Every structure is written in C-alpha cells, then in structure tokens.
C-alpha cells in the first residue's frame, strides 16, 4: 500500500489529476484477495492468476477508455503489488497467466527477513508522512460511500495477517513492528467505514427536519 500510494501520488501530480485515496489503496492490495479464496476453499492459488499483469491490463481496458489519463495512477497502484512488492519479496508469481504458468520473481528474500522488514517500515513511514503533510489523511475522516471499499484490505490482508493467517502465528507475536503498521491501517480504514455507515444510517433513518416541520 505504501508503494502504491507513493506511485499514485507522484503520477497524479505529474498528470495533474485528483486521487481517491481509498480506491487507490484498495487496488494496491486487491491481488491478495486470493488469500481469502484459499482460506475458504482450501486451495493454494496465492500469487497466481489475481497477480497476473495480463489480467490487470485486460481489466483496466474499459477504465482507460472511460477515464483516460486519470486511470494511470490507479493502474500503477494495482500492478505495483506484483511487479514491485511481491516480485522482489518472495517471488513465485504467475505474472503472465493465462498465457504462461511459469513463475517469476526473487525467491531468496523472505517476508520476515531483516531486509524486507526494514524496507516495509521505511516505506510505511515515508508514505504516512506524505499522507499527513498532503492532507490526504482527511479522506478517512469524512463520509464517502467509496470508503466502504476499504472493507476489502481489512478482510483480505490486514485483519487475517494480524490474527495469524496465512502465517503460522500472529504478526503481533512474530513481527510486532509490522503488526503496528497493520494496526495503523486497520484503525484508519475502520474509522472511514464507521463514519460512512453512520452517515448513511442517519440519512436513511433520521433525516433532518425541514424548516416547515420545525415551525409546524
């Protein structure tokens, strides 16, 4: 998510386009929806078809047709997940599925290696500082229906990995520094979802009284 945010932020400035930060972050983590599929079905397709850049490109064709250059930051966020994050850490990616089932990427750097933890925490700190300085953090404290898409990273990666899945133990036990970063995003995303759901509930079940009603 940190890499996607930095790429999205930089490209949007160059293209002079506005960003929807929640959607950008969701796209960055979307390939990992296969974690949930593996959990529910007992299969093992993680880093398979959902991580294919071919699938990503095909899915974005209509988005590029409609939004043109505005779609670029979001596409970069999506493909940064397999091409940068997973390619260098862990590897074993079916990057060109369905044209090829071959796997790609460096496989000698573990998620729990000192190098990866240092990189993740550094990127997290940089992204968080820019998120704060740019004022993008405010998007998570306002009511917007698009904020509801943040349920996806919560359900697919943040909450499962913090609890333990797909690892043998919770990150809180094995890697507390990484767990703190996960908890930060969990808190931020949960606030955005709760604020949005609260606003929707109030609007539907407790609409504001009109002046006529008050005077009447």
pLDDT in tens, the chain (216 residues): 999 999 999 999 999 999 999 999 999 999 988 887 777 787 777 888 999 999 999 999 999 999 999 999 999 999 999 999 999 988 889 999 999 999 999 887 888 888 888 999 999 999 999 999 999 999 999 999 999 999 999 988 888 877 777 667 788 888 888 888 889 999 999 999 999 999 999 888 876 655 555 444
Beta-carbon neighbour count of residue 111 at 10 Å? 14
Token couple for 99: 């044209």
DSSP label at 167?
S
Computed over its alpha carbons, how large is the radius of gyration of the chain?
19
pLDDT score of 162? 79
- Look at residues 69, 113, 111, 63 and name the one whose alpha carbon lies nearest to residue 91: 111
Q: Where are the alpha helices (DSSP H) in the chain?
A: 2-15, 21-29, 34-41, 53-67, 72-80, 87-88, 114-133, 151-153, 159-163, 171-174, 176-205, 211-215
Question: CA-CA distance, 17 to 196, in Å (whole number)?
Answer: 24
**3-class secondary structure, 104:** strand
Contacts of 50 (CB under 8 A, 6+ apart): 30, 31, 32, 33, 34
3-state secondary structure of 93: strand
* Own/partner pairs, 109-118, CB within 8 angstroms, 24+ separation: 112/174, 112/175, 116/89, 117/175, 117/177, 117/178
The model carries a pTM of 0.88
| Short-list 134, 14, 22, 143, CA closest to 74 | 22
**Domain segments of the chain: what residues?**
2-215
């Amino acid at each position: 998510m940190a890499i996607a945010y930095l790429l999205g932020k930089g490209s949007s400035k160059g293209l002079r386009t506005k960003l929807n930060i929640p959607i950008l972050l969701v796209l960055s983590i979307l390939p990992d929806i296969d974690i949930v599929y593996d959990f529910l079905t007992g299969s093992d397709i993680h880093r398979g078809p959902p991580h294919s850049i071919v699938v990503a490109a095909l899915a974005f064709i209509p988005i590029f047709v409609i939004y043109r250059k505005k779609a670029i930051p979001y596409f970069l966020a999506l493909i940064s997940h397999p091409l940068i994050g997973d390619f260098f850490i862990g590897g074993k990616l079916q990057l060109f599925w369905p044209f090829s089932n071959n796997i790609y990427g460096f496989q000698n750097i573990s998620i729990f290696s000192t190098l990866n933890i240092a990189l993740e925490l550094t990127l997290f700190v940089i992204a968080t500082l820019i998120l704060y300085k740019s004022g993008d953090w405010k998007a998570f404290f306002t009511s917007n229906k698009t904020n509801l898409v943040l349920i996806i990273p919560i359900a697919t990666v943040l909450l499962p990995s913090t609890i333990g899945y797909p690892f043998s133990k919770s990150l809180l036990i094995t890697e507390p520094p990484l767990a703190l970063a996960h908890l930060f995003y969990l808190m931020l995303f949960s606030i955005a979802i709760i604020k949005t759901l609260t606003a929707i509930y109030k609007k539907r079940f407790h609409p504001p009284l009109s002046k006529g009603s008050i005077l009447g």
